[in-house]
Structure 1
Amino acid sequence: MSFNQLAKDRPRLLIVGGGYVGFTVAQKLQTRIKESGGVVTVVDPNPYMTYLPFLPEVAAGNIEARSATVPHRQNLRDCELIDGRVENIDHANRKVTIRGIDEGPEFELPYDEIVVAGGSNTRTFPIPGLAEKAIGMKTIEEAVSVRNWVLERIEVASLTDSEDAKRQALTFVVVGGGFAGIETIAELEDMARTAIERNDRLKVSDLRFVMIEAMGRIMPEVSKDRAEKVVAELRSRGVEVLLNTSVSEVDRDLVKLINMGDKSPAGELATDTLIWCAGVAAASFIKNSDLPIDERGRLRVGADLRVTGDDGPFDGAWAAGDIAAVPDLTGAGPGGFCVPNAQHAVRQAARMAKNIMAAHQGEPLQDYYHEGLGSVAGLGLYKGAATVRNIDLGGLPAWLMHRLYHGYAIPTVDRKARVFTQWGLNMVFGRDTQPLRHLHDPRRAFEKAAGVKVSDAKASL
C-alpha cells in the first residue's frame, strides 16, 4: 500500500504499535468502526504480534518461532496496515510522522483519534562493551538466534582440544532475575542438558550457566519464599545464581562483575554468550511527541486509559501497555502503577476498546481494574513456579498451569492449536535439539560458491 492509497476521507483511529494492546484493540474495533464509516489504521514495523511470554520456549525449541507470533494481515482484515515506525506524534495537529521499514520513505499521516501502544524496548545501561557483545530476549529473532547459538556452541565445544576454549563455549551468562531472565536461563539449561546427553564427546558437568541479578532476590512478582525455592532449584541443576551482582564491563569475551553492595570487583567470566534480560523501558519514540510523559519515559494516563496531563485528559488520545504509566487501582503495583506484563496489556486493551466505543456513543467511561490471580513461570520441561491466590506451587503442577494459561492467552484459535500441537509432539518424540546454522549470515554459502572470501573472524551473536 502506497501513501496515496491510504484512506483520506474517513475518520481514522490510528493505533501506534501492533503488539498486545494494539492488536487487541484493532481486532475488537475494526469491524464496528468500518461499519460506522471510519477506518482503523495500525502502524508497526513488524507484520505480526509477538507473544512475548513464549520467547524462552522458542529459544528452547518447545515452540516453533512463527507459532509465537500472530500475523496482522490474517487477523486484521478490516484494518489499514502500515509496516513502518512512528517517529513523531503531533497531537495538537492530529498527525504523525511515519518512516517505512528498511529506511523507507517518510510521510505524515493525519488522524482523529490515537491509541499509543508502542510497547517497550530492552532496558540497557552504558556498560563498556555491552552493546557489542550481548543479545536481548525481547524479539522473536533474538529468541531464534539464541537457540541456534547455544546449540552451535555445544557442537564447537565438542570438537576442541582446548579446555579453556571448551569452558568458554559452554559458559552461558544471563543478566536479569525477573521472569524473562529466569525462564530464559531455565529453559536454555534444560535444552542444553538434553543436547549434551545426545553428544558422546561431552558430559552435562561441562555446562556452566550463570544468572546475574543486581538485587538481593529474583522474581519480585512471586512471594519471597517461592523465589528462594526457584533459586534452590536452579542451583540444584548446577546453575550459578549471583545476587547483588552486576556487570561492570565487557571486554571481548570477558564479562567483568561488580558487587552491588560495596562496588568491589566480583570476578570475571570468560564466555561466548551474554544474554541481557535486565528489564524493559518504554519505547523511546514517545519522547518525540507533545503528549505528557513521566520521569521514567512512560505516557501519563488516567485509570480510564486516556492520556492525561496536569490539566486533565487529552481529547482523542489513549494509551496502555508497557509504554504507559497505568494506575493500578488494586494498590498492588510498584509505585502505584501496573507492572509491564502481558496479563495487564491484554486486559487493558479490552477495557480501552470498550471505553473508545463508549466515548463515541456519549456513555460514561470505566476505569481499568484487574486484581491478578497470581503469576506462573516455566522452568523447563515439567518444571515451573507459580503463586496463585497467595498459594505457592512448584514442579509439575506449576508447569501445567503455566502452559494452560499461556496456551489459552495467546490470541487466535490458529495459534492456540499450533502451540498445543507442538507441545504434544515434543512430549511424544522428545525435545528437538537440531540447530539451524548461519541464520545470522544466510548468504555465506552463496558467497563461498561464488568465490567471495568469507570472513574467518570468530562468529558472534
Structure 2
Amino acid sequence: MNTVTRPRILVVGAGFAGVECVRRLERKLSPDEADVTLVTPFAYQLYLPLLPQVASGVLTPQSIAVSLRRSKKYRTRIIPGGAIGVDLKSKVCVIRTITDEIVNEPYDYIVLAPGSITRTFDIPGLTDHAFGMKTLAEAAYIRDHVISQLDLADASQDPVERASRLQFVVVGGGYAGTETAACLQRLTHAAVKRYPRLDPSLIKWHLIDIAPKLMPELGDKLGSSAREILRRRGIEISLGTSIAKAGPEEVTFTDGRGVPTRTLIWTAGVVASPLIATLGAETVKGRLTVAPEMNLPGDDGVFALGDSAAVPDLAKGDGAMCPPTAQHALRQGKHVADNVIASLRGQVMKPYVHKDLGLVVDLGGTDAVSKPLGIELRGLPAQAVARGYHWSALRTNVAKTRVMTNWLLNAVAGDDFVRTGFQARKAARLKDFEYTDAYLTPEQVRAQVEGSGRPE
C-alpha cells in the first residue's frame, strides 16, 4: 500500500490511555498497514500519581516525565499541540499547535484520550487565587511557592503576615488532595528546622472536603487510619466543608470560618476535557458515551477511553462506569488498540472488562494505606505495596531507575529546600495552567473545517 491509501490512525492525548494505545499499535501493526499520529503538547507521558512527591521534592520533575522518543523503534508522528475540536462527519480533528497555528488533521480512525481538567465551581476568587495539582508545571511551581512562604515569613517583621504565610489550605479529600497535603506537610515540617526565627507551631495545614468521608473508596477502617495519620501530624481535617470565597490573603470556608493564607491548593476532582463537548455527541456527566468496546455507536472509526469516556464497567455491572483511574486507563489503552486493529482488519471487536486490583495511598515517609486485592494494609507494608505498584507501572527502565534513585537519596539524605526558580515575580494560579477557553464550539469546528477544506 502506498502512503496515500494507508489508513490514518489519530490518537489524541499522551496520558496513560493514549500512550499505551500508541505503543500497542506500533507493536501489532506493520509500518505498511497504517500511519499513526499522536497529538500532544508535550513529548512525554506524565505519571500523575506521583505529582505530590514532585511538589514535595521527594522526586525530581524529570523522574515522572517519561519521554515518548526514547524507543529506537518509535515511528509515530507527533503533532506538538492540543486538539480543540473534532468534526465527526468530515473525519477531521482541529489542532492548535504550541505556536498557536490552527491546523486540520484528517483521520480514518480516531482514538480520543484527552484526559481531564480540574473541576472548578463558581466560587468567587477561586481561579484567581488557587493552585491546581494536575500538571508537572503546577507541581514544580507549588514547591517553589511553599518554600518561598517560609522564606518570606522568616524575613517578615509583621506577625499577621507571618501567620498568613504559614497557613496552607488543600481542598479535596480524594487521593490527590490527601497525598498532596500529606507530602507537603512533611516538607514544611522538615524545612522549618532550618528557620530558627520561625515558631513551628505557626505552620498549619488544613485539608477540607465537602464529602462526609476521606477517600471513601478505601472503606471505613482504612479511611479512618488515613485520617488518624494526618491528624497525628497536625493536619486539621474538615469534612462537609468547602470554600465560600478565596482572596489573595484569606480563604473563607462554607462554615463561616476565615483562614488567613497565601496558599490555596484546589484538588476537588476532575471533569472530562472540554474537547468532548465539541463533538456534539451524547455524554454522561461530561464524559463521552461509548459502547463496551469503547467505540462511539453510530460513528465509524471513533473510539474514546480514559477520563473523558463513560466506559461501561462490565466487571461491576448494574450500569456502573469505569472510574477515571490510571489502572483503568492503562488497560483501556491496550484494549482500544486491539479493537482499532480488529476494526481495521475486519475482525470482531471485544468488550472491555477489568476487575479493579485495589488502591494505594502514599502519605510520605513510612506512612501509607493500601488495599491490594481487597487486603487492608497500613504502615510499612502498605508503603511497600504503594511504591512497588507505582514503580512497576513506570513505562521505561530509565524512569524506574530515576524514581528509585530519588527515593533512596531522599531516605538517606532527607529533603532539600532549594527554590528552583519556577516561581516568577508574577503569581501563576489555576487559570494559568489549564487553557479551558481554547476549545471551539461544534459550529466553530464545522466552520473551520469547511472554510479551509479537508487537507489530504
* TM-score, normalising length: structure 2: 0.89
Q: What is the match of residue 67 of structure 1? A: 63
1:303 and 2:292 are equivalent in the alignment: yes
**Aligned match of 2:260:** 270
User: Does the 8 A contact of 2:59 with 2:406 survive in 1?
Assistant: yes
> 2:77 — aligned with what?
80
**Among residues 10, 19, 23, which one is paired with 1:23 in the alignment?**
19
1:97 is the counterpart of 2:94: yes
Give the conservation status (yes or no) of the 8 Å contact 1:30–1:39.
no
Matched residue, 2:210: 214
State whether residues 8 and 107 of structure 2, in contact with CA within 8 Å, keep that contact through their aligned partners in structure 1. Answer: yes
Q: State the AA in 1 paired with 2:382.
A: A
Gaps of 5+ in 1: 1-6, 260-264, 445-454
In structure 2, the partner of 1:357 is 341
The residue correspondences of 1:140-151 to structure 2 (distance < 5 A) are: 140-151=136-147
Tell me the residue number matched to 2:270.
Answer: 280
Aligned to 1:117: 113
Contact 1:320 1:326 in 2 (8 A): yes
| 1:342-392 Cα distance to aligned partner (Å, 9 max, x none) | 111001111112222222333322221111221001101111111223322
8 A contact 2:170–2:181 mirrored in 1: yes
Query: What SS does structure 2 have at the residue aligned with 1:411?
Result: coil
Q: Distance in 2 between matches of 1:126 and 1:299?
A: 24
Task: Go from structure 1 to structure 2 and tell me whether the alpha carbon gap of 1:195 and 1:323 turns closer, same or farther (over 3 Å shift).
Answer: same
- Which residue of 182, 193, 198 maps to 1:197? 193
1:15–1:40 Cα contact (<8 Å) kept: yes
Give 2:315's aligned residue. Answer: 330
Asked if the contact 1:34–1:78 (Cα under 8 Å) also holds between the matched residues in 2, the reply is no
Q: Structure 2: which 5+ runs fail to align?
A: 430-456
Between the aligned partners of 1:389 and 1:73, the Cα distance in structure 2 is: 34
Alignment of 1:226-245 (within 5 A): 226-245=222-241
Corresponding residue for residue 49 of structure 1: 45
**1:194-226, Cα deviation, whole Å (9 max, x unpaired):** 111232222432210000100101112211221
Q: 1:32 to 1:369 in 2, by over 3 A?
A: closer
> Is the deviation greater in 36-45 or in 72-81?
72-81
| Contact 2:284–2:310, Cα closer than 8 Å, also in 1 | no
> Alignment partner for residue 135 of structure 2, among 134, 139, 151?
139
Q: For 2:354 and 2:36, locate their aligned partners in 1 and report how far apart those are by CA, in whole Å.
A: 27
Tell whether the 8 Å contact from 1:16 to 1:115 is kept in structure 2 after alignment.
yes
Q: Report the count of equivalent residues.
A: 426
- In the TM superposition, what whole-angstrom CA distance separates every residue of 1:110-138 from its partner, at most 9, and x where no partner exists? 11100000000000011111111001000
Letter in 1 for 2:410: N
Q: Is the 8 A contact 1:197 1:203 kept in 2?
A: no
The code of the aligned residue for 2:207 comes to: M
Asked if the contact 1:321–1:344 (Cα under 8 Å) also holds between the matched residues in 2, the reply is yes
SS of match in other structure, 1:73 = coil
Alignment partner of 1:421 is 2:405 = yes
**172, 178, 183: which is aligned to 2:174?**
178
Name 1:384's counterpart in structure 2: 368
Indicate the SS of the match to 1:391. Answer: coil
TM-score normalised over the length of structure 1: 0.88
Match of 2:359 among 350, 375, 384: 375
Say if 1:223 and 1:387, in contact at 8 Å, map to a contact too. no
How far is 1:332 from its partner? 7.4
**Partner AA of 2:120 in structure 1:** T
Counterparts of 2:110 and 2:198, CA distance in 1 = 55
Q: Deviations over 1:15-53 (max 9, x none)?
A: 011111111111111254352342100001222211100
Q: Distance in 1 between matches of 2:428 and 2:98?
A: 25
Higher relative contact order (CA 8 A, sep 6+): 2
The aligned counterpart of 1:440 is: 423
CA distance in 2, matches of 1:219, 1:324: 23
Matched, 1:33 2:29: yes
- Asked if the contact 1:33–1:40 (Cα under 8 Å) also holds between the matched residues in 2, the reply is no
Contact 1:16–1:44 (CA<8 Å) still a contact in 2?
A: yes
Indicate the residue corresponding to 1:397 in structure 2.
Answer: 381
Alignment partners' CA distance in 1, 2:185 and 2:243: 21
Q: Which amino acid aligns with 2:373?
A: R
- Is the partner of 2:114 in helix, strand or coil? coil
